[in-house]
Amino acid sequence: MPQDAAAVRLAVSTVIFALRPDHTGQPVLWTPLVRRTREPQRGLWALPGGWLPPNEELEAAAARTLRSTTGLTPKYLEQLYTFGDVDRSPGARVVSVVYWALVQSDEAAQATAGPNVRWVPADTMPRLAFDHNAIVEYALWRLRTKVEYAEIAHAFLGPTFTLAELREVYEAVLRRRLDPANFRRTMIASGRLAETGERVAGAPHRPPKLYRYETPSEGAGSREPFMGERPAS
């Protein structure tokens, strides 16, 4: 191989989305950031990540760097896209294979707290290191246009949920309030939701019904990644 192929460095980074309340109590998408403690761009916030060691699989490296910086261990990471613009990192050519995951709030609650970890609403990012703002924007665009709501709901809520919880997922992803009665009518008329026959446990009076998706779309099964990006081999 040509000598200069060795001058390209491989990194992995991860975008995590979790549903958490904003300052008004409305659930919105949040993303964990890590403060850079080394040059270049020391002190700036960045996506969790690190270099790819020669003997570690890409997804394992993404999971390890995510865990070591944020304490998060999502059940599934999916490959999102590889970012490799020549000028994306000062002084060196770095290509980053980016993974992403949607995590439930109980998974998000396991995250490390500390001065170098911070959760930020995904739509109001500070200036991030390198091209990480563009990476978060790309991840949001993919979430909003390419992922089915059955998959998003499954990732954020698990297999069963109330209509109010499902509406909150739509509101967080679409970034606008939806009329509860209209939402209920539309969802029921879609034919894609099924009543589980159960209700929320412990609610004092008329506990809300629990629903599930009638025909889980590809990749939305309980043991499948939320995007279903790779075929079973």
Compare residues 97 and 193 and give the one whose CB is closer to its own copies: 97
Phi, psi dihedral angles at 120 (to 5 degrees): -135, 140
According to CB under 8 A, which one of 75, 90, 126, 141 is a site residue for its own copies? 141
Q: By C-alpha distance, which of 26, 4, 6, 28 is closest to 17? A: 28
- Told to check if 189 binds its own copies by CB under 8 A, we report no
Among 58, 120, 187, 200, contact with its own copies (rule: CB under 8 A): 58
Question: Does residue 1 bind its own copies (CB under 8 A)?
Answer: yes
Q: What 8-state DSSP symbol labels residue 160?
A: -
Q: Does 55 bind its own copies (CB under 8 A)?
A: yes
Question: Which of 172, 129, 155 minimizes the C-alpha distance to 22?
Answer: 172
Is residue 159 part of the contact set for its own copies (CB under 8 A)? no
Closest to its own copies by CB, 175 or 185: 175
Burial class (CB in 10 A: 0-12, 13-18, 19+), 203: exposed
Cα(53)–Cα(119) distance, integer angstroms: 27
Of 44, 46, 95, 187, the one binding its own copies (CB under 8 A) is 95
Query: Token pair of 202, please?
Result: 């412990």
The amino acid sitting at 216 is P
Task: Report the interface residues with its own copies, using CB under 8 A.
Answer: 1-2, 4-11, 51-58, 79, 81-82, 84-86, 92-93, 95, 97, 134, 137-138, 141, 145, 218, 229-231, 233
